[in-house]
Amino acid sequence: MTNIPTELLRTFIAVIDLRSFTKAGASLGLTQPAVSAQIKRLQFLLGGELFDRNVQGISLTPHGELVLSHARRLLSINDQIVRLGAIAPRPEVVIRVGTSSDYIGSLLPRALAHFRQRWPEVRFIVRTNYYDALVRELRSSELDVLVGFSPAKEAGAQYSWKEELVWARGASLRLEAERPVPLVTYGEPCTYHRAATAALKSAGRDWENVFTGPSLASLKGAVGLGLGVMAIARRVASQAGMSIWEDAPLPKLADLYCSILVREGGARAAYEQVADEIAAALRGSRARRVPRLVAGGTVRKANPAA
């Protein structure tokens, strides 16, 4: 059975009412060629001419007159159904997203804003914490979506991929072999900190925490001024404009995993779509050296509030 898109009927009626393809396009936000293309498509679907080409101006064939009558009734019913939705709007969906402060820059807000352009009934609550604490909150249903770094691949992650970890430093920094390595860090619970100290301990190097900051901006400032070195994901360092110490006289850092996890229950379909949106934003920002993103779930296009 052939289905007639309502936008074709609406364009057809506009042409008749305004007696002009150009004026119809202006009223609908379409170009004149786009209006003509829609009319041609409608005539193809209906299998007959709607406009009498033997008469100057806008004039309908008998078939066109019949279509016009039915089209007006059909669109009237369509608009009444739409108004029913306005009487009983969808309930607001609140999605709680947990992340490390690395993602509070431009990427995560951009992904969430892009999602809300399509689903304005969704509201987000975003908070930052260390990864282990965020995992506990996800498992206790205090969070709906989590994105962050972990030393091992998370089982059941919606998305998971490797991220290269590097040392960042300021141009004025000079390491002294007999002194502890000065670390700039988020703090001991941070995955970056754990990776740095594990690598140094394995190499028999001592270290000291010379600067502990709450945000990437504060840590970038400390590193840039030469207070110490910082273990950080290459992609994050590049985006933040931090200087990567490619030939650092320090042990190589183990790769981390960036994972996006979704909690069980709740508006699961909505959570998974948010995970898709975040993954797309992060994937588009990643450096070429980073392995390709591997999805742990499928993309769903249904309305998340359904």
Q: For position 85, what pLDDT does the model report?
A: 64
Assign 111 a pLDDT band (cuts: 50, 70, 90): confident
Assign 103 a pLDDT band (cuts: 50, 70, 90): low
Assign 56 a pLDDT band (cuts: 50, 70, 90): confident
H or E stretch covering 11: helix 6-18
What is the spatial distance between Cα 275 and Cα 271, in angstroms, rounded to a whole number?
6
Q: Is the pLDDT of residue 190 over 80?
A: yes
Most confident of 40-49, 150-159, 244-253: 244-253
Interval 83-108 mean pLDDT: 73
Q: Which one has a higher pLDDT value, 83 or 18?
A: 18
Q: For position 195, what pLDDT does the model report?
A: 94
Least confident of 149-153, 229-233, 298-302: 298-302
Q: At which residue do the structure tokens 């840590």 appear? A: 219
What percent of the chain is modeled with pLDDT above 70?
88
Q: For position 297, what pLDDT does the model report?
A: 34
Q: Is the pLDDT of residue 282 over 60?
A: yes
Assign 3 a pLDDT band (cuts: 50, 70, 90): confident
Q: What is the dihedral of CA 222, 227, 232, 234, to 10 degrees?
A: 90
Residue 147 main-chain phi, psi, to 5 deg: -135, 125
Beta carbons of 95 and 56 less than 8 angstroms apart: no
Most confident of 30-44, 52-66, 248-262: 248-262
Cα 102 to Cα 99, 213, 216, 234, 260: the distances in Å are 8, 12, 6, 12, 14
What is the spatial distance between Cα 53 and Cα 183, in angstroms, rounded to a whole number?
81
What pTM did the predictor assign?
0.59
Interval 94-98 mean pLDDT: 92
What is the spatial distance between Cα 214 and Cα 227, in angstroms, rounded to a whole number?
16
Q: For position 29, what pLDDT does the model report?
A: 77
Q: For position 298, what pLDDT does the model report?
A: 33
Interval 116-139 mean pLDDT: 88
Assign 89 a pLDDT band (cuts: 50, 70, 90): low
In the chain, % helix, strand, coil (3-state, to 5) comes to 45, 20, 40
Q: Is the pLDDT of residue 88 over 80?
A: no
Domains of the chain (ranges; CATH) run 6-87 (1.10.10.10), 93-163+256-295 (3.40.190.10), 165-240 (3.40.190.10)
What is the spatial distance between Cα 193 and Cα 215, in angstroms, rounded to a whole number?
14
Interval 203-227 mean pLDDT: 94
What is the spatial distance between Cα 254 and Cα 267, in angstroms, rounded to a whole number?
36
Residue-averaged pLDDT of the chain: 84
Q: For position 304, what pLDDT does the model report?
A: 39
Interval 98-103 mean pLDDT: 77
